[in-house]
Amino acid sequence: MKSKSVFICQSCGTHSPKWLGRCPGCGEWNTLVEEVEETVGAEYSFPSSEPVLYQDIKEFKNPRIKVKIEEFNKVLGGGIVIGSLVLIGGEPGIGKSTLLLQISRDFAIDQEKVLYVSGEESLEQIKLRGERLGVRGGQLFLLAETNLERILAQAEKIMPQVLVLDSIQTVFSSKLSSSPGTISQVREVANQVFRFAKRNQVSSFLIGHITKEGSLAGPKSLEHMVDVVLLFEGERDRSHRVLRALKNRFGPVSELAIFEMAASGLQAISNPSAFFLKERPANEPGSVVVSTIKGSRPLLIEIQSLVSSTLFASNPRRMTVGLDHFRTAMLLAVIEKKLGYGFGGDDIYLNVAGGLEIEEPAADLGIVLGVVSCLKNRPVPAGMAAFGEVGLSGEVRSVGQALARVKEAASLGFGTIVLPQGNVGPLEKEDLAGTKLVGVQHIRQAIDLIF
């Protein structure tokens, strides 16, 4: 093994032979840190190092283990794949340790062995959290240790079903001389745990802190080394947290689970639509409910618009929170051009309630209805939800998964659904008794019908 000193950007991992004030890779300032680069041979070695004929490979009988938190299984694509390495990133205080201790608790109660390693907290501190979460022992082993080689030696001894490393930034390998949390350490730790997980079929979790900017400090550079990357997000002043997959070698990445932090840990919210709509104001102009798809399931979300005369006549504001800015600007242009409204003298604010994000064009029709409702100062009728993509001519285009969207809205008591005419046909043979489908081909038609 040979070693030389290099400078590595802690934000993107770019290497440089000399120190630079600004990283040539990502343009960040003061992110280069001197590290000793060791060249280790054979980075990844799976248990089989001989080629095997495809037909000789044994099929995995039950490759996933389910956790008791069904929402968590969903985000993972149906449970934890045995021997997979999952990275969970999130800001400090968001609930990463809580979530993984809850999961560990459930396995331990079922007499599955779990090794929870903490480099951040003492065993007593973990126990304190455990008491709130109702941990009852079973086969839950705790270890307060930061040296990776010692951790893995203990893991070899116990041979747990599940291994948790809290957090990757506090653990270091004695093979490297750089300090814990640096890119080379974080990578070395991930690499060794990855090999341990594959060799022994131990499902492993790495907890990683992310910085404000949203990059997994160090862990960002790990994304390619792990099987699954989960992101735990939420705002400090809100009780709910959103868990979603950024990468998943064994499932879709669009699933999301919503949790609420309660006195006894994280509680999954099983009906997110109701949760996000519960504070919706009644009969308020500018508020509209759209039926969107998040992952494999529909979700009803409120979009709020506010149009108010501007103080900056030459440059009125166009602010969006949770919506694509450019798409929204396009829709505003369509409203001006095709419906004949002028709002050159107005500021326009659009917000997705609950701090969620909507990426799909199926929210277009909702945005248009919300803005027009605000301009007319007339509320969208209570009990009405909408979805549909809007094109540049103002035409309303059909979208996927219309039935799921309609059913979700109907199940929450929305009796009238405004949707693309093109989606209505296939829905006619469905049993949607009590739900009125209003198909529209153009936004003008929708506006005339509603207001």
Whose Cβ is closer to ligand TYD: residue 266's or residue 289's?
266
Whose Cβ is closer to Mg ion: residue 123's or residue 153's?
123
* x-marked contacts with ligand TYD along 265-284 as a string, rule CB under 6 A: x-------------------
Does position 92 bind ligand TYD by CB under 6 A? yes
Structure token digits, residue 126: 């973990």
Does position 234 bind ligand TYD by CB under 6 A? no
Cis peptide before 167 (omega within 30 of 0): yes
Residues near Mg ion (CB under 5 A), total: 1
Q: Where are the beta strands (DSSP E) in 151-277?
A: 162-166, 203-209, 228-233, 240-248, 256-262, 265-268
**How do 318-321 and 346-352 pair as beta strands?**
parallel
In the bound complex, what is the minimum distance in angstroms from residue 166's beta carbon to Mg ion?
6
Whose Cβ is closer to ligand TYD: residue 239's or residue 393's?
239
Does position 96 bind ligand TYD by CB under 6 A? yes
Could you tell which of ligand TYD, Mg ion, none binds residue 134, using a CB distance below 5 to 8 A set by kind?
none
In the bound complex, what is the minimum distance in angstroms from residue 162's beta carbon to ligand TYD?
17
| CA dist., res. 424 & res. 173, Å (int) | 60
Helices (H) and strands (E) in the chain, counts: 11, 23
Among 8, 222, 230, 261, binds ligand TYD (CB under 6 A): 261
Residues near ligand TYD (CB under 6 A), total: 15
Whose Cβ is closer to ligand TYD: residue 125's or residue 393's?
125
Does position 170 bind Mg ion by CB under 5 A? no
Residue 438's beta-bridge partner residues? 418
Q: How far is CA 326 from CA 245, 329, 330, 333, in A?
A: 25, 5, 6, 11
| CA dist., res. 119 & res. 147, Å (int) | 9
Whose Cβ is closer to ligand TYD: residue 96's or residue 198's?
96
Does position 328 bind ligand TYD by CB under 6 A? no
Q: How far is CA 381 from CA 332, 414, 417, 440, 444, in A?
A: 22, 10, 11, 17, 17
In the bound complex, what is the minimum distance in angstroms from residue 264's beta carbon to ligand TYD?
5
Name the H helices within 236-294: 272-277
Whose Cβ is closer to ligand TYD: residue 98's or residue 173's?
98
- Footprint (CB under 5 A) of Mg ion, residues 84-103: 97
| CA dist., res. 82 & res. 84, Å (int) | 6
Q: For ligand TYD, which stretch binds (CB under 6 A), given 91-99, 178-186, 314-322, 383-391?
A: 91-99
Question: Residue 277: phi, psi to the nearest 5?
Answer: -100, -5
Residues that bind Mg ion (CB under 5 A): 97
Residues that bind ligand TYD (CB under 6 A): 90, 92-98, 129, 132-133, 261, 263-265
